[in-house]
Amino acid sequence: MEDREFLEAVLGLIAIDSVALEDVSEAAPYGAGPAKALEYVLELCQRLGIRTQNCGGKTAWAEIGAGDEIVGILGHLDVVPVGSGWTRSPKGEICDGRLYGRGAADDKGPTLAALFAMKELQDAGTPLNRRVRLIFGQCEEVGDWEDMEYYKATQQLPVFGFTPDADFPAIYGEKGILDFELTAPLGDLVSIEGGDAGNMVPGWCRCTYCGPDGAVHELEAQGRPAHASTPEKGENAISKLMEQLAQLGVKSPLVDFCQAHLGNDFHGGKLGCGLEDEQSGKLTVNAGLLRTRDGKAVLTLDVRNPVTFTQKDVEAPLDRACRPYGIEWACTGSADSIYMDKNGKVVTAMTEVYRQVTGDASEPTVIGGGTYARSMPGIVAFGPMQPGRECTEHQKDEYILVDDLLAAKEIYRRTIEKLANLP
């Protein structure tokens, strides 16, 4: 009965389209969708008997237990755009042991898994020496994280905790994230656009261009979306269109640049920044978003740099690559890498619980994705995806196995109890 209630709650939350920064208002500072999702979870907490606080719609939390210190759990209610090509409902459905929908794995399902884990602990009267607070984010996918900044400025900080927004057994490091906008002359291009978000491999791209015959032509390419941190898992429609335009002889600095320095090179070698380290592997680069703005083409690059390298290590070669094409660039967003003690008490506690529940002896890892673990000290990305599972975050037909989501709830329940009572 409890599992059914949990799964129905997840489906209800997935049904809310909560892309951030759409229809922003004073009552919905991060957009109407995230505000509606926040209202939903706070009402759900009330039904579950868990105390909450809504801080003017900018942040909110749910809490159990007692004590001076807080174990924090950071989940987000916003999602990336649905995109196209789904064969299952992005609004949520369960089929063949899979729970489908935008946000099923990233991050609505895992966030509610943590909430229902808290409910089980509270209902059982489990002794907790620290309070456990689930903090609801609303703009994680757009990268600014103003919600977490507001929380840090106005609320008590956790001493440690986790964000249920990555992989098991635990993530002890995350690469740096750099967002660049490249502004290029159009040349023979009349207009061009592609992609839905900078942190997604674009599934579409289309343009109009002036051909050798003087007429204006249309061209379109289709790709396969994936998360920008794993561009090799997708098929980049922007790169495909650039290649087609080059074959047609279309003269454009943007086309020439993309052919020479991007293409299907996911690791920055053609850009001159093919960085790699033992701790976190290779740099990744994704051309995620393309628009025509003020008579020029604006291309957004998502770069994930290894933990031992810095922003300057990327910017210098990027500048050298852009100059010959008359392309101007600007860094529009950045997040430093994080790297925690793999053998510290928090990561060790999480790994032990994961192994007890699953019997899997996998080691903690470092990822290219960016999570709320960057937003506060002592936070570790923890689940819900188990090693070897297909990762469909930011893709069509996003799903998580129902059994894995239920296992995540059990792992979170035991982990919360352990962290709340750590000496």
Give CA separation, 263 vs 10, 65, 84, 267, in Å.
39, 53, 23, 11
pLDDT in tens, 123-178: 999 999 999 999 999 999 987 799 999 999 999 999 999 999 999 999 999 999 99
Q: Which helix (H) or strand (E) holds 6?
A: helix 2-14
The dihedral formed by the CA atoms of 191, 196, 197 and 200, expressed in degrees to the nearest 10 = -110
pLDDT band at 335 (very low <50, low <70, confident <90, very high): confident
User: Quick one: pLDDT at residue 1?
Assistant: 56
Return the residue matching tokens 């990327």. 314
What secondary structure does DSSP assign to 306-339, as a single string?
Answer: -TT--HHHHHHHHHHHHGGGT-EEEEEEEE--EE
What secondary structure does DSSP assign to 54-101, as a single string?
Answer: EETTTEEEEEES-SSSEEEEEEE--B----S--SS-TT-EEETTEEES
pLDDT in tens, 22-33: 999 999 999 999
258: nearest Cα among 340, 327, 158, 160: 327
pLDDT in tens, 258-280: 999 999 899 999 999 999 998 88
Q: What is the mean pLDDT of residues 49-55?
A: 97
Note if 140 is an active site residue. yes
Of 17, 63, 78, 188, which one is the catalytic site residue?
78
Mean pLDDT lowest among 87-101, 325-339, 407-421? 325-339
**What angle separates helix 2-14 from helix 402-420, to the nearest 10 degrees?**
100
Structure-token pair, residue 202: 């674009």
Note if 26 is an active site residue. no
User: Quick one: pLDDT at residue 296?
Assistant: 96
Mean pLDDT lowest among 1-10, 48-57, 311-320? 1-10
Query: pTM here?
Result: 0.81
CA distance 97 to 120: 23
Q: What is the mean pLDDT of residues 243-248?
A: 95
**Residues 202, 302: contact at Cβ < 8 Å?**
no
Give CA separation, 123 vs 2, 8, 118, 302, in Å.
12, 19, 9, 44
pLDDT in tens, 187-240: 999 999 999 989 999 999 999 999 888 899 999 999 999 999 999 999 999 999
Of 140, 179, 196, 404, which one is the catalytic site residue?
140
CA 81 to the chain's CA centroid: 12
